Structure 1
Amino acid sequence: MLRTRIAPIGLGLSLAATLALVASRAPAQNTAAPVKNTATPAKTTGAAKPWVAPGTPGSPIDGTVFHAQVLLDLAGFPTGVIDGKKGMVFQQALRGFQQARGLQATGELDGPTRAALRQDQRPSTRNFRLTERDIGGPFLYPFPKAPEDQAKAPGLYYRNMLEKLAERFHTTPDTIVALNGPDKMIGAGQVLRLPNILPRSRDYGQVDAKQGDLLNLYQVDAQQPQGTFIVVDKSEGVLKVYEGQVPEGAYSTEKNRGTPPKLGENPGKLLAQFPVTMGSTHDPLPLGKWKATTYAFMPPFHYQPDLFWDAKDKTADDKMLPPGPNGPVGVAWLDLTKEHYGIHGTAAPETIGRAESHGCIRMSNWDVTRLARIMKPGFTAIFQA
């Protein structure tokens, strides 16, 4: 019998003790197949080495990179998780920001790029006193691995306070421990140092109640640019948001023979860019021009094992999995006119850009929530090789 604990796990525990619960997690079934071990597993911080304060030698956080990640996130060119580490996703975000600002797209944090980012003068972190909104439940621990057990759960919730807090502030549990030290306590009223990504406005107007809750949860600023179409290029690994007339020019489609020319480098005004995971050798990115017709927030997931190449038992009965941030599609599903495909969230944001998907476009929960604010239902999605 499945036993779950729907309680504020983490209350009265140190960050290190709570992190151990997060580190033991297993990704939701059939959401991400690692590519040659490129997905970095969760690590337990604080046990093997003494804590070193950020900004001092030995800290896992590069303060300059961390600050740039915060400012890129605020500017609409997020780097996935904010963790103070360089890498491919960080370089992609820099190139997108540079392109949008008319700078040389080097992918390096050079002088002109630093100057452009620092027009937003906010510091990289702030001390926040935690409230129930930040760390309130319900929670689900231990988290069931098998779809048949997940189907019995009341919801695919976060495992504990630390996991929720990390997603709320676009970071990782390890990073929160690195910022504060493993002995720092977590709970309502506690003060923690966190990435400074609070929105300037939460005036979301008339929105779906579920969408409004998610916009608040994930710190999405109410004032977002309004895009016209998106382009996902398989070779780049990012989703780009453009303003302007939808291009009628050449792009790859499933019916084409060979590889026709792509869209030009500047098909419109680049407004935002998000790291994504797209397709695999078994379920490739569906090249072509599609529409994102309807949005679903906190959706349940119809698990059909015969549609998944890596399902252990393809003859098993279909399962309806309950909604939650740790569900197979995260907190939002933007439905595409390509059957069985959509743009959606994930239970493992640290794997974005570093793992395969089952053909869909997978984003962090906070990024897909923001995308749904930027784009109105019915927008055009161009997928090219």
Structure 2
Amino acid sequence: MNPFGRTLYPFGLLVWLAAFGWKACAAARAGDRLRREVDRLEGEVAALDRGSRRLEQLARESGAQARESEFLQGLPNILPEDKGYLRTQKAIGDEVSVLRAKVGKRLKGTLQIVVDAKANKLYVKKGLKLLWQADISVGRGGRLSDPKSGRKWEFVTPRGEFRVMGKGVNPKWRKPDWAYVEAGEPIPPPEDPSRLVEGELGAFVLNLGDGYLIHGTKSEELLGRPASHGCVRVGAADLEKLYKTVPTGTRVVIFE
């Protein structure tokens, strides 16, 4: 029996394990280098792809600019009478002048009230000529509902064409149901005398029908912005002028 057998066997095993470990590490390092090389190549391919797309985009933009330049150069050769859909600024101005002349002829100096609900302005015109203007307050918007009856009100000034149905001096306001609901008060019968309130509408009133009025206000500081429940509010001086200037039957146009 070899007395060194037990000693040499473990030593040989250690040598074999060391050699195997070195080869494994070398293989791992080679794998890392390969992965890095693959990543580098993929990055170069992506860069080339981005460059190709950018070149295509530049080519498209260049073509579009060339077509736009060609179109603009050809504009002077296109006349409005030849191409009805392409009108010059002069042609549009001529059309507006003709339209204004037709409107002026139709109105023939007729007195009318024009209300710009967006600007909160009232204009008094004779034909197309502006006589004077005033700051006003139209409907403030918003809604109110009666929790008991379920009725609802919307506080907007209607748009459209109306007529001055009638005029009055020192009018009394017949307080509507929504005013009681808004104040949290019980609603009285329709003909209850307590509904009549003095001084709320100013010294004069112009009736537009359907409950809408042109009247005065106690809050002239709010003129120029929407503040009413739907009527057109006017300052005291302008309201008196309006009452004296505008006869019953005058056309009223409210637009935005």
Q: Which has the higher strand share?
A: 2
TM-score (norm 1): 0.32
Which of the pair has more CA radius of gyration?
Answer: 2
- Name whichever structure is richer in helix by fraction: 2
TM-score, L = length of structure 2: 0.48
